[in-house]
Structure 1
């Protein structure tokens, strides 16, 4: 019996590099979309496709039972509407025409912006893209544009209501081993500002495992139309102060020695108020308690977890 075929967009990106082997290990055949250079796995059907050049996705989705849509523009706001919003809607329409049963969309935790409540689950309101994003989220302009495009894309998929199972995956900060160690080299001032903040890291292979799990689960369920969101996060990600403590204990590296001074959350509140010119209690990413209870309820557990991944990174890269 032939294994089911999945299309993975953005297959050579930071997430795709881990998702492809996870899907292959789960027994799927993979067709992988890329823009610049194909990967090295000869068992994958590599297809070059640039969303800025064509949105005629018929040849890409042909014969696929599911789509793992990771492709996105994350840096250049000029292309975000085309690559993130229009391309996703066109891909969903092509998937509908081809009879695809499952559509997994890699959204982001940025769709929550800076909410009024620190505890975040999938019922937390999203940003309102018709209002000023900077009034709802404190971030650099490119991140604000990215957050707006991700929110608009979720809305577009809801409006399309395609006759298949659609899932929004909202990861926090997907981190490779080197990313887990980056705070070691921060300036003293940045360490002081960030010690209290939650890292919001999720180890990249753990995020890939969650995507493979949800895809397998979604395709195993009876055919039907539905839309569901899942936060993909690590509730045990810890705060930066925890990473510094573990890093110093494991290595003795003075760069992991945390400064004695730590600014409380009120400093971020003041900064946000100055930026938005509004006196409003909003919680930035570092103070959010993002829940993955819905993901865990499907039977998924993180294979590694940030604490263990951090110690591994210390052993290999520190």
Structure 2
């Protein structure tokens, strides 16, 4: 059992819940931070702290005594809070961790920092968004999504400014999904299912994200890399077979018989036109679904995905088949009608 203490921010979020569980299963002590009311149940080796990182100026008490930090907390919806949490709080947390002599600081950024790439193939060396101004031509997206990408990139730069003796790792994950998100494509509107069906999903399984984050922390605590260095990795599985939404929907229909998974796939040209009418701009760049995010640098560093989307989809298909079977059995049970 490890005596290491890992601070996890955003501990009640989609990734955070898995990271906390993963760390506990591996024997770590976890100091979990959330801006919401923390769970009341007691779990051995788990300490909850409630804090709004965007408003709390003194973050040293959060990191004091910790060996590593996995910083997941982010604002993804409220544009007015993005700069305060995604950049300013990230810098203050990294500075506090540096002052507390934390050995490893791991930050989850996003592939949104690349915006709409000029090239289809995207590596960590590819051009990124402008930080200081919102240039709509750089990113074919809604304004709050552009702001998210810019502020996550600003958080990366803040860590680079702070890093001195602390080993820092930045991950840029693609679209992080759990089983509910994989299955949940059936809940999209019919138009969205038709338009998006041809798209490359860019999905990365949340348990793989957790495994990669913990792997990087363990590598840093073991002495990998130079103190003060900041390593940046894409985290994606864009080279897997059958990565499109329609590929999963076809398998899901066979497994469940749910008609929501049976759609007519719209041509990509229709998708282009829809986005042009939506954003009223035609940048000489690629929308997200055309881009491909390379994880070669992470593989070269020695990491391999623990699960992979093939296994995640099999779990999702198994759940769908079980749901379909349970539904059929419920319909087959005779009803007792009384007058």
Q: TM-score, normalised by structure 2?
A: 0.86
Report the alpha carbon displacement of residue 311 of structure 1 after superposing the two structures with TM.
Answer: 2.5
Q: Alignment length, in residue pairs? A: 316
Give the CA deviation at 1:296: 2.1
Checking the alignment, whether the CA contact within 8 Å between 2:124 and 2:233 is kept in structure 1 is yes
**Runs of 4 or more above 6 Å deviation:** none
Question: Do 2:98 and 2:163's aligned partners in 1 also have CA atoms closer than 8 Å?
Answer: no
Residue 263 (structure 1) aligned to one of 256, 263, 267 = 267
Deviation at 1:33, TM superposition (A): 1.0
In 2, Cα distance between the equivalents of 1:272 and 1:128? 22
Query: Residues 15 and 88 from structure 1, CA distance in 2 versus in 1: closer, same or farther, beyond 3 angstroms?
Result: same
2:289 counterpart (286, 290, 305): 286
Q: Distance in 1 between matches of 2:165 and 2:136?
A: 35
Residues 183-227 of structure 1: CA deviation (Å, up to 9, x unaligned)? 223333222211211111111111111111111112112561201
**Structure with bigger gyration radius:** 2
Instruction: Report the Cα offset of residue 308 of structure 1.
Output: 2.3
Secondary structure of 1:163's counterpart equals coil
Task: Please say if residues 135 and 276 of structure 1, whose CA atoms lie closer than 8 Å, have aligned partners that are also in contact.
Answer: no
**Structure 1 contact 92–162 (Cα < 8 Å) conserved:** no
Distance 2:163 2:45 in 1: 33
Distance in 2 separating the partners of 1:86 and 1:252? 49
Which stretch of structure 1 is more off in the superposition, 308-317 or 240-249? 308-317
Tell me the equivalent position of 2:131.
Answer: 129
Unaligned runs of 5+ in 2: 324-339
Does structure 2 retain, via aligned residues, the 8 Å contact 1:20–1:30?
A: yes
- Higher mean Cα deviation, 297-306 or 212-221? 297-306
1:18-167 matches, cutoff 5 A: 18-39=18-39, 40=41, 41-167=43-169
| Whole-angstrom distance in 2 between the partners of 1:68 and 1:307 | 26
Q: CA deviation at 1:53?
A: 2.9
Q: Within 5 A, what are the aligned runs for 1:135-284?
A: 135-222=137-224, 224-235=227-238, 236=240, 238-259=243-264, 261-264=265-268, 266-271=269-274, 279-284=282-287
Following the alignment from structure 2 to structure 1, what is the Cα–Cα distance between the partners of residues 189 and 81? 33
Summarize the Cα distance change of 1:182–1:2 in structure 2 as closer, same or farther, 3 Å threshold. closer
Q: What is the SS of the residue equivalent to 2:237?
A: coil
Distance 1:309 1:210 in 2: 16
Which whole-Å CA distance do the structure 2 matches of 1:304 and 1:229 have between them?
22
Deviates most, 20-29 or 84-93: 20-29
Q: Secondary structure at the match of 1:282?
A: coil
Task: Give the secondary-structure state (helix, strand or coil) at the position aligned to 1:94.
Answer: helix
Unaligned runs of at least 5 residues, structure 1: none
Instruction: Give the Cα separation in 2 of the matches to 1:2 and 1:132.
Output: 45
Tell me by how many angstroms 1:271 deviates: 4.9
SS at match of 1:202: strand
1:85 positional shift: 0.9
The SS at the match of 1:192 is helix
SS, match of residue 70 in structure 2 = strand
Identify the residue that residue 332 of structure 2 maps to in structure 1.
none
Aligned residue in 2 for 1:307: 310
* Backbone CA RMSD of aligned residues: 2.1
Would you say the 8 A contact 1:206–1:302 is kept in 2?
yes
Change (3 A) 1:148 1:316: same
1:166 deviates by 0.9
Question: Is the aligned partner of 1:316 residue 2:319?
Answer: yes
Cα distance in 2 for residues equivalent to 1:252 and 1:274: 34
Contact kept? 1:93, 1:162, Cα under 8 Å: no
Q: CA deviation at 1:268?
A: 4.4
Q: Distance in 1 between matches of 2:127 and 2:196?
A: 26
